[in-house]
Every structure is written in structure tokens, then in C-alpha cells.
């Protein structure tokens, strides 16, 4: 796959301490994601977060949903280090170290164990349509029968973005 160029505003994170990164967007949407998971996640099993970013989300997920075993993943080396730094600070038996995984790469589903839940947040709007289709087909292959795929992002509903933040974000992405 070609290297993706993501506008800086689409994936803004700054150094927090050591290798840990902080993404303001992660802090803003973690509660909405946890509420979404509360409604749709299976009560137990394994959960793979694709493109885990800085690692801020996965810590909250593992705390709030202790009967799921959480596996963060990321392709970016600095973000993998950040995830592992967050994971190292907590003592949670249901949280694994991050794995290197490019969710747009070929056949990644064959490289991971079957999952009860796969979560993807804030990535589909940053990749090509072909990559999005491939990612979703790979996620379907990586799920156990009747597994759950949750996709979260700034999607339009009835052709309209639903928040000022999503509208601003969309304008920024459209300029690139």
C-alpha cells in the first residue's frame, strides 16, 4: 500500500511525557466511544482496536469493560510506543501490549486471532474508498461468527454532519 498522507489536523497529538502522546480529540470522544461500546459490545471475549492512536482510548475501554480482553494495534512506531507507555502505567489483566498492524494492508486478518469485537474509530474518513472497503472486508474475516464490528467517526447522517466539530474537521480535510 502507498504511504498515506494524513493532514496534521486529522491526527494531532503532542508529547506528554517520555514517549507518551496526548491527542485532544481522543480526550473529547472517549466518553462517546465508551457509551457506544456499552450499547453494542459483547459482554466478554476478545476485542481488537484497529489504529489505536496514542493509547488513551484503550486504557479507558479496558477499565470500563473488564470482561473483554483488549488488544491495541497501530502502524506508526511513535504511537505504538505511546500505547505501550500508557499500558505500562496500569495494572489491567485484560489489556495487551500493542501489536504492529496496518489495517489497510493485505490479509492482516490472517495474522490475528479471531475477535469477538473489532473497534475502529476515526480512520475511514482519512483513507481511500478502496482501502476502506478492504479494511472492512478484512475486519469481517477477523471476527468470530456473530462477532461485532463497530465503526465510529464523523459520518454524515442524511447528508449532514451532526456537530460543529465534525463540520470544521470536514472543511480541514477537504482543503487537502
> Could you write out the three-class secondary structure of 74-101?
ECCHHHHHHHHHHHHCCCCCCECCCEEC
Task: Check pLDDT > 90 for residue 162.
Answer: no
Average pLDDT over residues 76-98: 95
Q: Is the pTM of this model over 0.95?
A: no
pLDDT at 59: 95
pLDDT at 108: 95
Task: Check pLDDT > 60 for residue 5.
Answer: no
Q: pLDDT tens for residues 55-76?
A: 999 999 999 999 999 999 999 9
pLDDT at 87: 95
| Mean of all residue pLDDT scores within the chain | 88
Q: pLDDT tens for residues 7-52?
A: 444 457 767 778 999 888 888 889 999 999 999 999 999 999 999 9
Q: Which residues contact 47 (CB under 8 A, 6 or more apart)?
A: 41, 61, 65, 68, 69, 70, 71, 115, 116, 117, 118, 119
Amino acid at each position: 500500500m502507498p504511504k498515506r498522507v494524513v493532514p496534521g489536523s486529522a491526527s494531532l497529538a503532542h508529547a506528554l511525557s517520555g514517549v507518551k502522546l496526548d491527542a485532544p480529540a481522543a480526550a473529547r470522544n472517549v466518553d462517546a466511544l465508551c457509551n457506544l461500546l456499552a450499547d453494542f459490545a459483547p459482554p466478554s471475549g476478545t476485542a481488537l482496536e484497529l489504529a489505536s492512536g496514542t493509547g488513551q482510548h484503550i486504557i479507558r475501554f479496558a477499565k470500563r469493560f473488564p470482561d473483554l480482553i483488549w488488544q491495541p494495534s497501530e502502524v506508526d512506531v511513535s504511537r505504538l510506543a505511546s500505547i505501550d507507555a500508557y499500558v505500562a502505567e496500569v495494572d489491567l489483566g485484560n489489556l495487551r501490549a500493542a501489536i504492529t498492524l496496518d489495517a489497510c494492508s493485505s490479509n492482516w486478518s490472517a495474522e490475528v486471532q479471531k475477535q469477538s469485537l473489532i473497534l475502529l474509530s476515526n480512520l475511514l474518513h482519512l483513507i481511500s474508498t478502496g482501502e476502506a472497503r478492504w479494511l472492512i472486508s478484512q475486519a469481517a474475516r477477523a471476527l468470530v461468527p456473530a462477532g461485532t464490528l463497530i465503526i465510529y467517526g464523523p459520518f454524515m447522517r442524511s447528508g449532514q454532519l451532526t456537530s460543529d466539530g465534525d463540520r470544521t474537521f470536514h472543511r480541514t480535510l477537504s482543503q487537502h
